């Protein structure tokens, strides 16, 4: 894959047409747009600080943090990291992954969506897979999610609909209104003293409100209820059970399975690994440049003609570029594998936490007193077995040990991460 670089301002417009493979976009602090793709498959142009490109294969792009990004279609997976301006996306045929970005508006994603650290609104018309989003500083508006919906730490309003289950963990309720619809169960963890005007509808006639002042279960389809000052409108419609409970009620500490803090920890490790890989690649580039300078100096001393020297240097440069590309690909795959394992660990923990909540739901709680009038429903069906994860590679272990040696993580963090990788390999 060849690399092409275009000089721009720190705030260029980047307009991407059709990408017929996977696309990786990442911000940096340089006034440049760098594109890595097969030259024969890439169409690239620039005019008036606007970069336009399309690609008939995989493509990797580095662009300034302040770039405005517009993407028409990605026929593979799409990953976007480290952008300070809003991005617009038309269609993603594969998975969509967002990390440390500003607001994002997308029309349709045919795979899963994973978003974390979104400093703005998150708006998606249709998600054919599952959607998981955390640390969103704006509103979340999702037209429809075909699978499950999981939202954590959303600062703004929420309007979303899911064909599967919906699970929300909200530390604060600063949005104007909250509307959640799901054909499955809906579970919400909310601030204990929140002032709510609740409008709840359960087709299964199973509503449980564990918020102060009086936890209670309601065996009815619809419920209108006001808690506290009733300042926040909160509407839920579910085909299954509805559970409202205070934040922290299901775990003893902030590091239990499925918690936002665990997700933050995984993200911190991923960032450290990414920074270390970039540092290694910079070292590889510097070493190659030094070798080329030494070669040029040696050729000038040995009396080669200028034509022969240029030919030898050009051949050496092509070999150097191929070696650099192979090193980049190897490190990129190691990083992606580690990130997949971290996400798999988090997903497994969330499934365990969700199963524990379901068990708690079906267990009789006579401490609620006379409001318990019916027998609890039967236990849910056993979840489908998960595919066996890939074993941890030696490269991943070396990355973690090197981070420990450089004091980028503590021994306890290294032990936890190594243990998580070992668990994935069993």
Domain boundary among 174, 198, 222: 174
Confidence of residue 255 (pLDDT cuts 50, 70, 90): very low
Confidence of residue 421 (pLDDT cuts 50, 70, 90): low
Q: Does the residue 203 lie in any domain? A: no
Give me the mean pLDDT over the 323-331 stretch: 67
Place of tokens 């670089």: 5
Q: 155 and 13 in one domain?
A: yes
User: When comparing pLDDT for 276 and 384, which is higher?
Assistant: 276
pLDDT at 3 over 80: yes
Q: 413 and 274 in one domain?
A: yes
Highest mean pLDDT among 205-209, 273-277, 310-314, 363-367: 205-209
Q: 135 and 22 in one domain?
A: yes
Domain boundary among 125, 145, 174: 174
Q: What pLDDT score was predicted for residue 16?
A: 97
Q: What pLDDT score was predicted for residue 294?
A: 73
* Average pLDDT of the residues of the chain: 80
Confidence of residue 276 (pLDDT cuts 50, 70, 90): low
* pLDDT more than 90, % of the chain: 51
Q: Does the residue 182 lie in any domain? A: no
Confidence of residue 77 (pLDDT cuts 50, 70, 90): very high
Q: 281 and 155 in one domain?
A: no
Domain boundary among 174, 191, 206: 174
Q: What pLDDT score was predicted for residue 104?
A: 97
Q: Does the residue 89 lie in any domain? A: yes
Q: 269 and 165 in one domain?
A: no
Q: 270 and 156 in one domain?
A: no
Compute the distance between CA of residue 99 and CA of residue 401 in angstroms, rounded to an integer: 25
Q: 302 and 161 in one domain?
A: no
What domain range includes position 36? 2-174
Q: What pLDDT score was predicted for residue 247?
A: 84
Q: What pLDDT score was predicted for residue 268?
A: 58
Give me the mean pLDDT over the 105-112 stretch: 97
Q: What pLDDT score was predicted for residue 415?
A: 66
Q: Does the residue 233 lie in any domain? A: no
| Number of independent structural domains in the chain | 2
Give me the mean pLDDT over the 125-142 stretch: 96
Give me the mean pLDDT over the 169-181 stretch: 92
Confidence of residue 375 (pLDDT cuts 50, 70, 90): very low
Q: 412 and 306 in one domain?
A: yes
Q: Does the residue 232 lie in any domain? A: no
Give me the mean pLDDT over the 393-422 stretch: 65
Q: Does the residue 131 lie in any domain? A: yes
Q: What pLDDT score was predicted for residue 192?
A: 85
Q: Does the residue 238 lie in any domain? A: no
Q: Does the residue 323 lie in any domain? A: yes
Give me the mean pLDDT over the 134-139 stretch: 94
pLDDT at 145 over 50: yes
The pTM of this model reads: 0.65
Q: What pLDDT score was predicted for residue 188?
A: 94
Q: 286 and 147 in one domain?
A: no
Confidence of residue 190 (pLDDT cuts 50, 70, 90): very high
Highest mean pLDDT among 175-184, 337-346, 374-383: 175-184
Q: What pLDDT score was predicted for residue 292?
A: 66
Q: What pLDDT score was predicted for residue 121?
A: 96
CATH number of the domain that 90 lies in?
Answer: 2.160.20
């Amino acid at each position: 894959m060849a690399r092409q670089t275009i000089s721009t301002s720190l705030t260029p417009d980047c307009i991407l047409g059709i990408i017929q493979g996977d696309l990786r976009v990442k911000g940096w602090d340089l006034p440049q747009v760098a594109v890595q793709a097969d030259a024969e498959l890439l169409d690239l142009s620039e005019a008036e600080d606007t970069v336009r490109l399309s690609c008939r294969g995989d493509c990797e792009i580095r662009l300034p943090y302040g770039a405005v990004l517009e993407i028409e279609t990605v026929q593979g997976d799409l990953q976007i990291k480290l952008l300070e301006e809003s991005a617009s996306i038309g269609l993603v045929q594969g998975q969509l992954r967002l990390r440390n970005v500003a607001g994002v508006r997308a029309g349709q994603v045919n795979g899963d969506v994973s978003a974390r650290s979104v400093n703005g609104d998150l708006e998606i018309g249709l998600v054919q897979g599952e959607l998981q989003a955390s640390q969103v500083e704006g509103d979340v508006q999702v037209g429809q999610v075909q699978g499950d919906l999981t939202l954590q730490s959303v600062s703004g309003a929420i309007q979303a609909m899911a064909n599967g289950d919906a699970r929300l963990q909200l530390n604060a309720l600063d949005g104007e209104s909250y509307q959640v619809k799901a054909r499955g169960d809906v579970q919400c963890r909310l601030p204990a003293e929140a002032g709510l005007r609740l409008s709840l509808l359960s087709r299964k006639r199973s509503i449980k409100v564990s918020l102060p002042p009086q936890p209670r279960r309601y065996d009815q389809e619809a419920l209108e209820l006001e808690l506290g000052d009733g300042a926040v409108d909160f509407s839920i419609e579910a085909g299954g059970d509805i559970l409202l409970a205070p934040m922290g009620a299901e775990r003893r500490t902030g590091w239990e399975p499925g918690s936002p803090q665990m997700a933050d920890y995984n993200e911190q490790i991923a960032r450290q690994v990414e920074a270390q890989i970039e540092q290694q690649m910079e070292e590889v580039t510097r070493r190659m440049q030094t070798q080329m300078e030494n070669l040029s100096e040696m050729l000038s001393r040995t009396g080669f003609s200028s034509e022969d020297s240029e030919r030898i240097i050009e051949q050496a440069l092509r070999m150097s570029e191929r070696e650099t590309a192979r090193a980049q690909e190897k490190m990129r795959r190691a990083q992606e594998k580690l990130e997949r394992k971290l996400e798999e660990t988090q997903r497994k923990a969330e499934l365990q936490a969700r199963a524990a909540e379901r068990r708690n739901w079906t267990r009789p709680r006579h401490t609620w007193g006379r409001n318990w009038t019916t027998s609890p429903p039967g236990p849910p069906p056993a979840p489908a077995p998960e595919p066996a994860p890939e074993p941890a590679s030696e490269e991943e272990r070396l990355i973690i040990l090197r981070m420990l040696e450089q004091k980028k993580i503590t021994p306890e963090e290294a032990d936890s991460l190594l243990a998580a990788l070992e668990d994935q390999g069993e």
